[in-house]
Amino acid sequence: MEALLLSIRLAVCVSAILLVIGLPLAYWLAYSRWRGKFLVESVVALPLVLPPTVLGFYVLVAMGTRGPLGKLWQAAFGHGLAFTFTGLVIASVLYSLPFTVQPLLASFESVDRKLLDASAILGAGALRTFRRVILPLSVPGVITALVLSFAHTLGEFGVVLMVGGNLAGVTRTVSIDIYDHVQSLNYAAANRMALILLAFSFVVLSIVYGVNRRIGRRVWSPWPAR
């Protein structure tokens, strides 16, 4: 149970941070006219195709006592980043970034440009237009983004193992716990955890597809529907 609670704590932190980062990032990707935008889009989408171990490896190197991030952290807080909960959060944020940004981007882009023009002509600046028009019309996208990043973080394995290791109560998440149980041939315990994750994932996906269906148009999701 400790592992499950830790996973949930991690997923809540990561989803919250991702929303804060994802909203402005997706806004910029949706409306910037910069020609090199596709490069940033590629970087954001990288975790979708990269093996988690590759991402985890580089994050670990960066966070290590001789890595740039690790050194900075050491100087500021007096301890390293690798194999800590904070380190795990940072790695998970990177790993789940596309699962937040893509649904947000898709729903921002589906907002009729004429509404934005109308808002500007009625005197609203970019922030007011975002708050009063873009965001309310993107609620399904925000829900999808939150649910997907939460679920994705909850289920991750490779990155956690690379960056967090396996410290009970600090970095031992559900998926690591299941792996441990299987390694020690404790199939009953593994099954309990696995069932919880399975049920949870099903509920999450039902929410996402239910929201998509309710609003009659598809918000981005990584799995092809229908």
Partner 1 sequence: MACEVSTAPLSLRVLVERRAAIAPCFVLDVSLVIPSGITILFGASGAGKSTLLDCIAGLLQPDAGHIKTGDDTLFDSVSRVNVPPQRRRTAYVFQSLALFPHLTVEENVAYGLPHLPAEQRVERTAEILQAFRVENLRARKPGEISGGEKQRVALARSLVTLPRVLLLDEPLTGLDAELKALIVDDLRAWNSARKIPILYVTHTRDEVDALGERVVVLDRGCVVSEGLPHEVLDAPRRKKLAQAAGFENLLEATVVELRESDGVMRVRVANTAGEIEVPLGYATPNDSIQVAIRAGDILLATQHPAGLSARNILAGRIVSLKQRGTMVVALVEAGAIFTVHLTPGAVRSLELTAGKPVWIVLKTHSCHLVS
Position 122 contacts partner 1 (CB under 8 A): yes
DSSP 218: P
Q: Residue 130: CA atoms inside 13 Å, Cβ hemisphere, count? A: 11
Binding of residue 136 to partner 1 (CB under 8 A):
yes
- Binding residue (CB under 8 A) for partner 1 from 75, 121, 185, 188: 121
Question: Could you say whether residue 125 binds partner 1 (CB under 8 A)?
Answer: yes
Alpha carbons 139 and 125: distance in angstroms, whole number: 21
Question: Which residues, 101 to 120, sit near partner 1 by CB under 8 A?
Answer: 112, 114-115, 117-120
Q: Is 83 helix (H, G, I), strand (E, B) or coil?
A: coil
3-state secondary structure of 118: helix
Residue 133 touches partner 1, criterion: CB under 8 A: yes
- Residue tagged 């006592």 (tokens): 65
Binders of partner 1 in range 43-82 (CB under 8 A): none
Residue closer to partner 1 by CB (options 62, 143) is 143
Name which of 2 and 112 has its Cβ closer to partner 1: 112
Quote the CA–CA distance of 185 and 179 in Å, as a whole number: 10
Which positions lie near partner 1, rule CB under 8 A?
A: 112, 114-115, 117-125, 128, 132-133, 136-137
